[in-house]
Amino acid sequence: MAILSISEILNLIITTFVVGYIFTGYIPFPRKTPSDDELIAKYSRNYFDWEEIKFTMLVAAPGIILHELGHKFLALLFGLSAVFKIFWLGLGLAFILKLAHSPFLILAPGYVEISGNASLLQGMLVAFAGPFFNLVLWLGSWYLLKTRKNMPQKTVFALALTKQINMILFIFNMLPIPPFDGFQVFSSLYKLIT
């Protein structure tokens, strides 16, 4: 049995690309100052900036994709069934907010459907596995920014954005209210210690 099915791989690719596209315009893209001719060319023909989308995919998508894969792989390790699925309503809402030039985003692009009989501890650990990857990306990028010198400016910028995005993802996902992962983590922890 494959760890990831073909449909899951396709869903991950779609989610990564759409998340990259959604974040264009929200994440400032480091570039040289364009000439007047480049600006006219860009705005006169609905410009699709592949370089900007690649940058936003690199900065925004890992926190979302690794979060979901953390849930999936730990659930599989515990012998549970786990399948990554696109949450079309959540992805569509973010896409509409982007097209409407909303000043904020609501983004819930995917989830992992888990089935099987998990113990309370296993359920808590699977719920925490997603935010754990956000914590690692947050603290890892913070550490690299603090300890590494002479990095290219684009790398410093990407790490700073990765740090900020994953800090937000970690904090929001650990809120102890449904439907966030923190609700399951803290309610399971409470049941385990009482």
The answer to whether 163 and 143 have CB atoms below 8 angstroms apart is no
Is 68 among the residues known to form the active site? yes
Virtual torsion, Cα 124, 172, 139, 122, nearest 10 deg: 10
Give the span between the Cα atoms of 112 and 194, in whole angstroms. Answer: 29
Give the span between the Cα atoms of 49 and 55, in whole angstroms. Answer: 10
Q: Select which of 38, 51, 52, 68 is catalytic.
A: 68
Burial 45-55 (b: 16+ CB within 10 A, else e): eeeeeeebbeb
Phi, psi of 48 (to 5 degrees): -105, 105
Give the span between the Cα atoms of 22 and 98, in whole angstroms. Answer: 6
Catalytic residues: 68
